[in-house]
Amino acid sequence: MDRKELLESLDKLKKGYISSINTLEIMMNWGRVQLESLYATKIGKYKIELLELNIQLKALKKKIQFCHQYINQDKEPAFDKIEAEVEAMIKKAYEEVHLEKQKIVMGKEFLKNLHSPTDSAEIRKIYRNIAKSLHPDINPHLTEYQKELWYIFHKAYKSGDLDRLKALEVAFSEDLKKSEEQNEELSEEEILLQTATLAQGIKELEEDIANLEKEFPFNIADQIRDEEWVEEQQEILKNEIDEIKKVIKEKEKIYKLIRETYE
């Protein structure tokens, strides 16, 4: 393989590495949040209602249990004390519910402010162009200035600031060009070393992506966008909610009867 072919092979691997790392970054920085937001707004709200009802049911059962303890000792239930004890017991559980509700609020806000597909594609395109010249993983001979430049570009990319990325790309076009020219000066040994390093790097990135796809929320990426699946899950949760409401109603009657008897 002559020098030209070696450089072409290296260039191909660089593009492959950039594509893989871009995919991983998108999954971790935006994909995860987007999927979690979709799940929270479509299914999570029903799970939260179910969670609240379970806490309510648990509280009622505890109140009835404490009442029976008093009654079994031939004492009148101390309802104020019972109410306070149960309230303290479920306080942490309600704090968790509040956090879950906040996720839904933030999820709605995130989905409302998503970039358009066109803007997202343009952001990724600019990222790939810049990463080819400045990403430290594929450009080991960067100067401190070039590393700082990469940090500035990457910060704009992570914030999804398309206008800033465009401005930076224009403002530093000469610096990007110089970085590309440095690659032309690589020795054959350096080219081969980078080729081997990038090939291994791509393999590891693909493994990371595959492992991530097995985890929540990536493992429901297809389902959460399938309205039929979403409706099925919602129906299951709605049925569970209806059932637990019936149980709560019965427990409320029992607790009310105890209070009416001893107050």
| pTM (predicted TM-score) | 0.73
pLDDT tens, 130-167?
888 888 888 888 888 888 888 888 888 887 778 877 88
Number of domains composing the chain: 1
Binning pLDDT at 50, 70 and 90, where does residue 49 land? very high
Predicted confidence at residue 183, as pLDDT, reads 67
User: Is it the case that residue 235 has pLDDT exceeding 80?
Assistant: yes
Q: What is the mean pLDDT of residues 194-222?
A: 92
- Who wins on pLDDT, 217 or 146? 217
Q: What is the domain range of residue 229?
A: 3-262
Q: Which string of b and e fits 169-200 if b means at least 16 CB within 10 Å?
A: beebeeebeebeeebeebeeeebeebbeebee
Rounded Cα gap, residues 127 and 198, in angstroms? 18
Residue carrying structure tokens 């070039």: 146
d(CA 184, CA 213): 37
Using the predicted structure, report yes or no on whether residue 237 has a pLDDT greater than 90. Answer: yes
Could you report how far apart the first and last alpha carbons of the chain are, in Å? Answer: 94
Query: pLDDT tens digits for 50-86?
Result: 999 999 999 999 999 999 999 999 889 999 999 999 9
Task: Look at residue 41 in the predicted model and tell me its pLDDT.
Answer: 87
Compare 239 and 14 and report the one with higher pLDDT: 239
Under a CB-based contact definition with an 8 Å cutoff, are residues 75 and 145 in contact?
no
In this predicted structure, the answer to whether residue 180 has a pLDDT above a threshold of 70 is no
Average pLDDT, the chain: 86
What is the C-alpha separation between 263 and 258, in angstroms, rounded?
Answer: 8
Residue 246 has pLDDT above 80, yes or no: yes
Higher pLDDT, 186 or 72: 72
Q: Between 204 and 173, where is the model more confident?
A: 204
Q: Name the packing angle between helices 162-171 and 117-134 (round to 10°).
A: 30
Nearest to 135 by CA among 149, 150, 116: 150
